[in-house]
Chain A
Amino acid sequence: MRGVSAVFFLLITGGVLYGAFTGDLTKIGSAAVRAGQEALETVVGLIGGFAFFGGLIGILEKAGAIGLMSRAMRRPLEGLFGKNAGDEAFEAVSVNLAANMLGLSNAATPMGMRAARLLNAEHASTPSDALCMLLVINATSVQLLPSSVIALRNAAGSGMADAVVLPGLAASAVSTAVGIALCKLLQKREKSE
């Protein structure tokens, strides 16, 4: 959270100082005070959309989508992580990624932590190649359904709220592919040194 606090600090000090030189501090003050009200209005606009997508994903989850997707991903994952990671670790990794794809961060995070623990069974002090891979895939995000984005777009009055699903999926796939490729590249280079 430190990075966010730094941005918070810079925007506020920068804004106030800039405003002191160029113009109207009262205007800045009232804009700041209104922010809470705006936050509330935004959330009210979002609750409906979040309810819809939460419900949709709730059905998919109960229908066993996580289990199905994690089984389908098993083979490709073995190629990425190397076979010596162990069965239990693979299970955790694939459930973590499947839950992430569906946007179920409540289910994804504990599984990801479990996977990280299992991938570091030797209690090494630096992350292994496989653990780096897990983190990079999580940090570059693989999202099938950007539900919060669609909800936000609807709340903003978009006439084509879900027009960004495919481009978003492509962007998400490219970010993850670049992450994976760089991981593999760096792992190879470190080994050859």
Chain B
Amino acid sequence: MTVWLLLFAVVAGIARKVDLFSAFSEGAERGMKSAARILPYLAATLTALRVAESSGLMENLCQALAPVSGWLGLPSGAMPLLIMRPLSGSASLALLGDILRAYGPDSRTGLVASAMMGSGETVLYTCAVYLSAAGIKKSRYIIPVSLAGWIAGCVTAGLFFR
């Protein structure tokens, strides 16, 4: 999959007379910088997560949420992501990395959590940025509708890996 996209990119690039090497390097620089930029947010997220985990609170929370996760068809280990994704992009990325390490990237929990990740955004943040750009304070039904979409996406992710 990734390989075909790479092939497509270089063929399309050559056809459009793109300087492939420098276009790739510029993009790579951007990518590396954005990886480095999330470090402080990762540190903050992991600090809170580690406190909750090493005390045993996290396990209890996941167990408490087990009925909800069963009802949605999601593995209970992916439930923290359900809550975190709409709140913060970098925190949820840290959380996903954690889930992948704890359960294994190719376990059901790892696969479902990975597929969930792309079906949502930071709802509150996105809403705040765009509405304030338009000079608007009210948000009508945007937030509940977006959250409903996010949950529907998660359920879909769960259906793919049984």
Contact = CB atoms under 8 A, between A and B. Distances in A.
Interface in A146-193: 146-153, 155-165, 167-172, 174-179, 182-183, 186
Given A123-B135, A135-B131, A153-B105, A11 B31 contact: no
Interface class of chain A by DSSP: helix
Given A4-B91, A18-B57, A50 B120 contact: no
Contact of B31 (A52, A165, A170): A52
A60 B12 contact: yes
A158 B115 CA distance: 14
A178 B30 CA distance: 33
Interface string A3-20: 110011001101110110
Contacts of A14: 52, 57
A64 B100 CA distance: 35
Given A28-B54, A148-B93, 5 more contacts: A63-B12, A131-B134, A164-B111, A167-B157, A183-B145
Contact of B105 (A60, A120, A156): A156
Main SS class of interface, B: helix
Given A43-B35, A59-B24, A117-B134, A168 B117 contact: yes
B78 interface: no
Nearest to B111: A164
B114 A153 contact: yes
Interface residues of A, number: 106
A175 B53 contact: no
B153 interface: yes
A34 B50 contact: yes
Given A42-B42, A56-B6, A152-B96, A32 B91 contact: no
Q: List 5 tightest A-B contacts by C-beta distance, closest first.
A: A58-B27, A54-B31, A175-B153, A19-B55, A179-B149
A18 B55 contact: yes
Interface in A60-81: 60-65
A14 B115 CA distance: 29
B72 to A, nearest CB: 13
A23 B54 CA distance: 10
A119 B134 contact: yes
Contacts of A177: 149
Interface in A136-151: 136, 138-141, 143, 145-151
Contacts of B13: 59-60, 62-63
Nearest to A8: B48
Given A4-B91, A171-B153, A178-B152, A116 B130 contact: yes
A179 B20 CA distance: 38
A24 B160 CA distance: 40
Contacts of A162: 1-2
Contacts of A65: 12
A22 B145 CA distance: 40
